[in-house]
Amino acid sequence: MAPSDTIPEISPEELVRRVEGGDALEVLDVRAPFRLASGTIDIVAPAAFHNIPGSQLLDLGDPEEAGLDRAKELAVVCAQGVASREVTAFLNEKGYRASSVRGGMAAWMRMCIARDIDPGPDLDTLVQFDRLGKGALGYLLVSDKEAVVIDPPRDPQPFLDRVARIGANVVAVADTHAHADYISGGTELARALSVPYFLHPADLVLPYDGRRGTIPIEPVQEGEKITFGGATLIVEHTPGHTEGSVTYRLGDDLAFAGDFIFVRSIGRPDLGGKAEQWTEQLWQSLERARREWPDAIRLCPAHYTSDEDRSADRSIVAPFGELREHNEPLRITSSFAFHSWVEARTQQAPEAYARIKAINLGLLEVDAEEADLLELGRNQCAAG
């Protein structure tokens, strides 16, 4: 077996760059098959993804017996990046070109890819941060060297790295709502930078038992403004996914809608245990958007479901007029039909979501290892 310091590794970020750049890499996941339910590296075609438990592979005399082609370059992944190193060394000794994914699935779930978006007339820079493992999105908005961060993850370092490159200063951090599928970095980032953390006060209450959160917030309400540089965000209260869900609108150009509306669906109204009440709130919020939002306004959501949601530049952004044509729940024309549509698609909420929501409100603390476990898997925040 090769010495540990000679085993090739590939970072999750490099893996994404190479696959999106057209390199023909294949992924070998060496976890037990039941572990795949918590998430996989799904950026390659199904035919280029292999799941062979590491112990099973190491027992083979020739990995080709398991269907692995020596002509294909392999990225080997396990839970934490340990077992994958042993398998990688074994494969390379057998004549393969393999690299271990550094940090394993835990690192894959944390990883953010920065994608620049057309900033429009009011911003100098707009960056979408894409957590491919979660299907989660955050944003960096910059105007005249002042920046606002929207929906940051637990590790906001990629946001800070881009801010430093630009030479800007973060003046505010905002969450569109109290998230349930991932641990927000909003409060810690705002505290570290001594800037306000914006959240609607209705989301400072844990919906399951009414406990009030302990995190410090700068409460935002309908119609309030967040000004930075030469730009101004207007707060629209768009409840339904949560009671305090808001959309931050930048004029008629951009709508940072959180889990209110997605490219192909809408946010689930059942995650707080108040499905009937929140479904009606969501219907009223959608009715307002249909009345008031121009077709040209670009929707910037907090989540996506699959690569089908992507634009040609790999970003997850779409004009509202396009969504009105292709987003099924946006085409529903009656409250009764909408309630029926939501009810027919309601599924059991993931067990971790109640704990994550409590963490985000300061009501529960966990260490980094448990946080990684809680965040495993793609978001399940879309209805349908």
Q: Is 357 left (phi over 0), alpha (psi -120 to 50) or beta?
A: alpha
Question: Per-residue pLDDT averaged across 183-211, rounded?
Answer: 97
CB 376 within 8 A of CB 38: yes
Burial of residue 207 (number of CB atoms within 10 Å: 0-12, 13-18, 19+):
buried
Q: Please say which residue of 52, 79, 108 terminates a domain.
A: 108
Question: Are 231 and 161 in a shared domain?
Answer: yes
Q: Say if 379 falls within a structural domain.
A: no
Residue 97, C-beta contacts closer than 8 angstroms, at least 6 positions apart? 72, 73, 74
Average pLDDT, the chain: 95
Query: Which CATH number goes with the domain that contains 261?
Result: 3.60.15.10
Query: How many domains would you assign to the chain?
Result: 2
CATH code of residue 89: 3.40.250.10
For position 61, what pLDDT does the model report? 83
Please report the pLDDT score of residue 6 as a whole number. 85
Residue 3: what pLDDT? 58
Identify whether residues 83 and 231 lie together within a single domain: no
Per-residue pLDDT band at 181 (split at 50, 70, 90) = very high
Q: How far apart are CA 246 and CA 255, in angstroms?
A: 10
**Mean pLDDT across the stretch 16-44?**
94
94 lies in the same domain as 155: no
Q: How far apart are CA 382 and CA 384, in angstroms?
A: 6
**Domain end (from 86, 108, 130):** 108
Q: Average pLDDT in the 344-367 region?
A: 95
Confidence of residue 2 (pLDDT cuts 50, 70, 90): low
Predicted local confidence at residue 60, as pLDDT: 87
- Which structural domain range is residue 97 located in? 4-108
- State yes or no: pLDDT of 1 exceeds 60: no
User: What is the C-alpha separation between 12 and 16, in angstroms, rounded?
Assistant: 6
What is the reported pLDDT for 5? 67
Q: 286 and 184, same structural domain?
A: yes
Residues 86 and 175 in one domain: no
Mean pLDDT of 325-335: 95
**Strand runs (DSSP E) across 154-245, as ranges?**
169-174, 197-199, 218-219, 225-228, 231-237
Structure tokens at 161: 């790295």
What element of type H or E holds 374?
Answer: helix 368-374
Question: Of all residues in the chain, what percent carry a pLDDT higher than 90?
Answer: 92
Confidence band, pLDDT 50/70/90 cuts, at residue 195: very high
Whole-number Å distance between alpha carbons of 84 and 78: 5
Whether residue 357 sits in one domain with residue 240: yes
Cα separation of 179 and 381, whole Å? Answer: 10
Q: Is residue 240 part of a domain?
A: yes
Do residues 38 and 141 share a domain? Answer: no
What letters, b where the CB count within 10 A reaches 16 and e where it falls short, cover 292-325? ebeeebbbbbbbbbeeebbeeeebbbbebeebee
143 inside domain = yes
pLDDT in tens, 211-232: 999 999 999 999 999 999 999 9
- pLDDT at residue 4, as a whole number: 59
Confidence class of residue 360 from pLDDT cuts 50, 70 and 90?
very high
Is pLDDT larger for residue 62 or for residue 337? 337
Same structural domain for residues 22 and 135?
Answer: no
Do 285 and 338 lie in a common domain?
A: yes
Reduced to 3 states (helix: H, G, I; strand: E, B; else coil), residue 300 is strand
pLDDT at 25: 95
Identify whether residues 329 and 251 lie together within a single domain.
yes
- Of 73, 108, 143, the residue at which a domain comes to its end is 108
Q: Are residues 197 and 124 part of one domain?
A: yes
Cβ atoms of 51 and 36 within 8 Å: the answer is yes
In-domain check, residue 128: yes
